Amino acid sequence: MSAIIKKVFAREVLDSRGNPTVECEVHTDSTFGKFIVPSGASTGQFEAVELRDGDPKRFHGKGVLKAVSNVNEIISQKIVGMDVTDQEGIDKVLIELDGTPNKGKLGANAILSVSAASARAAAKVKGQHLFEYLGNSKRLPTPLLNVINGGKHAGGKLAIQEFMIVPKGFETFREALRASSEVYHSLKKYLKTKYGSSSINVGDEGGFAPQIDFAKDALSALTEAINNAGYEVGEHFFFAIDSAASEFYENGKYFVDEKYMDADELLNYYLELIDDFPALISIEDPFDENDFEAFSKMVKKVGSTKAIVGDDLTVTNVERIQKAIDMQSMNYLLLKINQIGTLTEAKNAFNLTKSQNWGVVISHRSGETEDPFIADLSVGWGAERIKTGAPARTERVAKYNQLLRIEELLGEEAKYYNQ
Ligand code: PGA
Ligand code: ZN
């Protein structure tokens, strides 16, 4: 089967929030691969640029026709004729063609669409499943399921953006997902009884967006839901949060749980939360994305037992990850391929993180699509964890369902991380 790229083209489609995004197809003579780019809401300041048209007459300025035409008119000319299995070569051309440090010229959305669609096409050319093509690992990641949505992903008062359940005490991914779905439904029942029926409306990532004001009440609700479903906190399920703290930071102060705090006060706030909920094992972006120092203090205090995760802090960018290494600001990387724009650069970010024996969470965006690419990526690369929302809403469930298929395909060889 020929591996030569014959055609590359993109189109504008919609994401899970109903905003336009880029879908790309990369064709060889006999097959093709496609990819749809996701989009964040609480985006990091240092992420690669998501190119939007800014034309108020279309999609309130959010159209992506420029990014689409960058694929169709500019990128395709250089990529057609290349070997689709030469991922590094393709990504190098994409990076050079853009020529800016943040992919501001062609757009990271245009570039990633081609990079990831090429991998899909290449897997088909080689007759492999995508996860097999991407890497050798056969481990199923532990999911962090975001079942209560706050911050920018919901319309309530919770400052902390994500409250996640982590099913660690299970033998297989399938069992872990089943139990998580049970907890999700028992949470729905609990929230409805305690906070009223408007509390079971869902946010951007499929989690509930209840009328809860304080983080500890959200974690208490998760505790109740886990118990009501017949499971034990600290045995079957643990907790994770994503503060996305840059979103509630202004002029040196964080506004959380109806209080203004400086970084030291916020650190104490987290320490108390951990004291009250020892099963809280992972805290993402606890401080502003520029405050590597505050992250370091947190690692010194709790880094030996808790995952301190960099998302907006490091934006899947090796320079920022290196700074986090130099300052010991985290011990886990959140990896989002559209924060950096090519698979090769995302892999470099992964490898640099692994050189520290740190863990990696491969993550979706709050604006997602039906594309399950990151499920394959998390298995192929062997990421310990995956963050892909609640076990509800098709754009989230698409990834979980793909992980179920992969586990089945791997059969005896499959191993559930339980990390
Ligand atoms: P985003 O949120 O996709 O809106 O940036 C996800 C996250 O912060 O992890
Ligand atoms: Zn985050």
pLDDT tens readout for residues 263-293? 999 999 999 999 999 999 999 999 999 999 9
Cβ of 142 less than 6 Å from ligand 1: no
Cβ of 42 less than 6 Å from ligand 1: yes
CA 91 to CA 116: how far, in whole Å?
10
Cβ of 365 less than 6 Å from ligand 1: yes
Mutation test residue for ligand 1: of 366, 386, 387, 399, the one with most atoms within 8 Å of CB: 366
Tokens in use for 333? 């990387």
Mutation test residue for ligand 1: of 164, 243, 336, the one with most atoms within 8 Å of CB: 336
Element (H, E) at 20: strand 20-27
* Separation of CA 411 and ligand 2 centre (Å): 32
- DSSP state letter for 249: E
Mutation test residue for ligand 1: of 16, 37, 42, the one with most atoms within 8 Å of CB: 42
Measure Cα distances from 150 to 8, 73, 141, 281, 342 in Å.
39, 40, 24, 19, 30
Catalytic site positions: 205, 336
Sequence ranges of the domains in the chain:
7-127, 134-416
User: 43-65 pLDDT, tens per residue?
Assistant: 999 999 999 999 999 999 999 99
* Separation of CA 403 and ligand 2 centre (Å): 22
pTM of the predicted protein model: 0.98
CA 44 to CA 299: how far, in whole Å?
21
User: What pLDDT, on a 0 to 100 scale, did the predictor assign at position 363?
Assistant: 98
In the block, residue with structure tokens 């999700």:
184
**Fold assignment, 7-127:** Enolase-like; domain 1 (3.30.390)
* Separation of CA 314 and ligand 1 centre (Å): 13
Nearest to 311 by CA among 136, 164, 101, 147: 164
Least confident of 4-8, 154-158, 293-297, 403-407: 154-158
Cβ of 244 less than 6 Å from ligand 1: yes
Please give the CATH superfamily to which domain 134-416 belongs. Answer: Enolase-like C-terminal domain (3.20.20.120)
Percentages (nearest 5) of helix, strand, coil residues in the chain: 45, 20, 35
User: 154-186 pLDDT, tens per residue?
Assistant: 888 999 999 999 999 999 999 999 999 999 999
CA 94 to CA 111: how far, in whole Å?
6
- R_g (Cα) of the chain, nearest Å: 21
Q: How confident is the model at residue 97 (pLDDT cuts 50, 70, 90)?
A: very high
Residues paired with 34 in a beta bridge: 25
User: What pLDDT, on a 0 to 100 scale, did the predictor assign at position 376?
Assistant: 98
Going 335 to 340 to 342 to 344, the CA torsion angle's sign is negative
* Separation of CA 374 and ligand 1 centre (Å): 15
CA 209 to chain centre: 19
User: What pLDDT, on a 0 to 100 scale, did the predictor assign at position 306?
Assistant: 98
User: What pLDDT, on a 0 to 100 scale, did the predictor assign at position 156?
Assistant: 84
Tokens in use for 224? 């109740």
Going 38 to 42 to 46 to 49, the CA torsion angle's sign is positive
Cβ 304 vs Cβ 357: under 8 Å: no
State the average pLDDT over residues 228-241: 98
Count of alpha carbons within 13 angstroms of residue 340, beta-carbon side:
25
State the average pLDDT over residues 319-347: 98
